[in-house]
Chain A
């Protein structure tokens, strides 16, 4: 009786997971990297995060905002962990609108760590108009907003190719192997030696793609490391407590079995 049921449960689970697996691995085979932050013990590499921020700042930030991040985040634990001085300098390198002052006027001042990342455009419509009708998405949570996450972002950055013969592309549209429909309105943003890394790392396209993707993953999940650390402790604790409770349960129930 019981064995039969178990067989049926297993069959149900197998069928479900097969279909779930199919559903989740939806998009075309993405490029996959062995990310340092993947898996239950995943962590970010500090220098990769700092390089990634440099890529964002020098390449992406001219079009892409990251409005849910503040400059102070760049210094907090679990992230790029720039020093307080570095964070202040980064913030101060931006002009932030403030006001109104006592005359009723808005004015510009140097950025502070508490300020949010400055937007490249005053509003979404300006962003769309400046980019041929396409909105460059805000990247604060972009990695979580795309199926495939970090692998997807990396694949897009590395996925620009010559369009196949006969493939129709409008003006200002580019061919990308991993984009849905293969059309993307952003031209390939990265190429070898586009920027010079301050830490001296060779700035190949793949390196920059990896670093900026790592940075974007942190930006979307700044507490990832704390989450993994706490999770490990919680599950070990639960297993410990469950063991104690299990033996307590056996001890208590032994009274019932003894009565027979």
Chain B
């Protein structure tokens, strides 16, 4: 971290800061130079931090009343909803908060895809972000099991059963995961423990994520490097803090809409039926935010193949910085990539929809096409674009487009800018 010559104003402050430079850290975060052209797609990092804190606080409170035992879990959740003071509110915030968390993370990820935030020198930020995403999915999956409804139980059964596809050790791994011969109380209690743990692992990774970001500084909509110090940046506080707060309030209105007026629309009715190992629901579906991966999993008839492809879908995302060969970051200057980006968005939405449908007939057929296209995008299209795409000329600085009222058509020091920060 770059050293700031920050001197605390008070003697007590100086004493403390000499021993643990928290005040210097605070000054760094306050003064942190941020590109002044960031648009609202950049507010989702702050929104995600809010989501994480919300989930942790409501989760800890729920854990004061929830009982992690197969015989009592469902009832303890009902007790929270009925008897605990504001229990219904805290529970609905937590369950809808998970959905809002994923909504925000998908917007955040797609922002990165569009504006090339994952490109050099920000590859590690991207990878840490991917790790956070994976941990989020694990935490959400286990959290959904805790109410011990029909979907909790059967979703857990289906997904843990996937590991039996591993050659040789598969069955042992599944038994180990279950702590028994089927999903049952031991599974529930360990999922509760890990569900409580993971958000704090995420918190640690978020610190690393932001730390790694602060080394090169933020990307920006135009995708060109900003040399510091620069009149193209503003101090994080108050310019970015106030904008983040505004965006957060907009986000909270949508959040409140779900919590107070439609708290169960994103869930599945079957999860209000207590878990029954003898009756399988007609359609087992995960929560909406896991549907694209579910669709990919089910498009392969072979169990192991489906598992490999599902993890493969995650893998190609992780190695994205090395798949996208374009030297231009922002899609604003990449006319071909822009088209493929939106097609990719539609593809992911299609996978999500198909993941909720039964895996048969025309749905299965379409899911296979969408899955194929997903991999095509990463493995063929992105690498090829780097070579074939004719990118638009980049502006000289981020102020320039604002001053001249548009992007300059004259090629400016494009190559110099791109090659500088490598």
In the complex, A touching B, CB below 8 Å? yes
Chain B residues with CB below 8 A from A140, complex form? 78
In the complex, B214 has a CB within 8 A of chain A: no
In the complex, A52 has a CB within 8 A of chain B: no
Chain A residues with CB below 8 A from B353, complex form? 16, 19-20, 23
**0/1 per residue, B388-407, Cβ < 8 Å to A?**
00000000000100110000
Whether the Cβ atoms of B239 and A252 lie closer than 8 Å is yes
Q: How far is the CA of A153 from the CA of B163 in the complex (A)?
A: 39
Whether the Cβ atoms of A256 and B257 lie closer than 8 Å is no
Picked from B256, B270, B338, B349, the residue with its CB within 8 Å of the CB of A12 is B349
In the complex, B264 has a CB within 8 A of chain A: yes
Whether the Cβ atoms of A245 and B256 lie closer than 8 Å is no
Whether the Cβ atoms of B269 and A147 lie closer than 8 Å is yes
Chain B residues with CB below 8 A from A220, complex form? 272
Q: How far is the CA of A246 from the CA of B253 in the complex (A)?
A: 14
Picked from B246, B253, B342, B345, the residue with its CB within 8 Å of the CB of A249 is B246
Q: Which of B82, B263, B356: most chain A Cβ within 10 A? A: B82
In the complex, A144 has a CB within 8 A of chain B: yes
Whether the Cβ atoms of B82 and A73 lie closer than 8 Å is yes
- Whether A245 touches B252, Cβ cut-off 8 Å, given contacts A12-B349, A222-B82, is no
In the complex, B162 has a CB within 8 A of chain A: no
Stretch at the interface among A53-61, A81-89, A158-166, A232-240: A232-240
In the complex, A3 has a CB within 8 A of chain B: no
Picked from B78, B234, B245, B269, the residue with its CB within 8 Å of the CB of A256 is B234
In the complex, A187 has a CB within 8 A of chain B: no
Extra pairs beyond A24-B265, A232-B260 (20, CB < 8 Å) = A11-B346, A12-B345, A12-B346, A12-B349, A23-B356, A68-B79, A140-B78, A145-B269, A145-B272, A149-B269, A223-B82, A227-B89, A230-B89, A238-B253, A242-B250, A242-B253, A245-B245, A256-B36, A256-B239, A260-B403
Instruction: Please give me the residue from chain B that is nearest to A253 by CB atom.
Output: B239
- Whether A1 touches B36, Cβ cut-off 8 Å, given contacts A231-B261, A235-B256, A245-B249, is no
- Within the complex, what minimum Cβ distance (angstroms) separates B306 from chain A? 22
- Within the complex, what minimum Cβ distance (angstroms) separates B241 from chain A? 9
In the complex, A129 has a CB within 8 A of chain B: no
Question: What interface size band does chain B fall in?
Answer: 35 or more
Tell me how many residue pairs across A and B have CB atoms closer than 8 Å: 100
In the complex, A228 has a CB within 8 A of chain B: yes
- Within the complex, what minimum Cβ distance (angstroms) separates A99 from chain B? 21
Q: How far is the CA of A220 from the CA of B78 in the complex (A)?
A: 9
Instruction: Please give me the residue from chain B that is nearest to A40 by CB atom.
Output: B261
Chain A residues with CB below 8 A from B261, complex form? 40, 228, 231
Question: What interface size band does chain A fall in?
Answer: 35 or more
- Within the complex, what minimum Cβ distance (angstroms) separates B375 from chain A? 21
Chain A residues with CB below 8 A from B243, complex form? 249, 253
Q: How far is the CA of A210 from the CA of B269 in the complex (A)?
A: 21
Chain B residues with CB below 8 A from A259, complex form? 231
In the complex, A28 has a CB within 8 A of chain B: no
In the complex, A15 has a CB within 8 A of chain B: yes
- Within the complex, what minimum Cβ distance (angstroms) separates B294 from chain A? 14
Picked from B81, B238, B260, the residue with its CB within 8 Å of the CB of A235 is B260
**0/1 per residue, B346-357, Cβ < 8 Å to A?**
100100110011
In the complex, A109 has a CB within 8 A of chain B: no
**0/1 per residue, A142-172, Cβ < 8 Å to B?**
1011110100000000000000000000000
In the complex, A241 has a CB within 8 A of chain B: yes
Q: How far is the CA of A252 from the CA of B402 in the complex (A)?
A: 19
Q: How far is the CA of A210 from the CA of B302 in the complex (A)?
A: 49
**0/1 per residue, A201-224, Cβ < 8 Å to B?**
000000000000000000010110
Interface of chain B residues 261 through 318 with chain A (CB within 8 A): 261, 263-265, 269-270, 272-273, 282
Chain A residues with CB below 8 A from B402, complex form? 260
In the complex, B242 has a CB within 8 A of chain A: yes
Instruction: Please give me the residue from chain B that is nearest to A238 by CB atom.
Output: B253
25 contacts between A and B (CB under 8 A): A8-B345, A12-B342, A16-B349, A16-B353, A19-B353, A23-B356, A40-B261, A144-B269, A149-B269, A180-B282, A223-B82, A227-B89, A228-B261, A230-B89, A230-B260, A231-B257, A231-B259, A231-B261, A238-B256, A241-B249, A245-B245, A253-B239, A253-B243, A256-B239, A260-B399
Whether the Cβ atoms of A252 and B238 lie closer than 8 Å is yes
Picked from A19, A68, A144, the residue with its CB within 8 Å of the CB of B264 is A144
B residues with CB within 8 A of A: 36, 75, 78-79, 81-82, 88-89, 92, 231, 234, 238-239, 242-243, 245-246, 249-250, 252-253, 256-257, 259-261, 263-265, 269-270, 272-273, 282, 332, 338, 342, 345-346, 349, 352-353, 356-357, 399, 402-403
Whether the Cβ atoms of B257 and A235 lie closer than 8 Å is yes
Whether the Cβ atoms of B239 and A231 lie closer than 8 Å is no
- Within the complex, what minimum Cβ distance (angstroms) separates A26 from chain B? 9
Q: How far is the CA of A49 from the CA of B253 in the complex (A)?
A: 32
- Within the complex, what minimum Cβ distance (angstroms) separates A68 from chain B? 4
Chain B residues with CB below 8 A from A223, complex form? 81-82, 88
- Within the complex, what minimum Cβ distance (angstroms) separates B88 from chain A? 5
Chain B residues with CB below 8 A from A241, complex form? 249
Q: Which of B238, B256, B346, B403: most chain A Cβ within 10 A? A: B256
- Within the complex, what minimum Cβ distance (angstroms) separates B273 from chain A? 5
Q: How far is the CA of A16 from the CA of B352 in the complex (A)?
A: 9
Picked from B78, B79, B246, the residue with its CB within 8 Å of the CB of A245 is B246
Q: How far is the CA of A253 from the CA of B243 in the complex (A)?
A: 9
Picked from B81, B260, B265, the residue with its CB within 8 Å of the CB of A228 is B260
Chain A residues with CB below 8 A from B270, complex form? 145
**0/1 per residue, A6-23, Cβ < 8 Å to B?**
001001100110011001
Instruction: Please give me the residue from chain B that is nearest to A222 by CB atom.
Output: B82
Q: How far is the CA of A141 from the CA of B356 in the complex (A)?
A: 24
Chain A residues with CB below 8 A from B399, complex form? 260
Q: How far is the CA of A260 from the CA of B401 in the complex (A)?
A: 13
Q: How far is the CA of A232 from the CA of B269 in the complex (A)?
A: 25
Instruction: Please give me the residue from chain A that is nearest to B234 by CB atom.
Output: A256
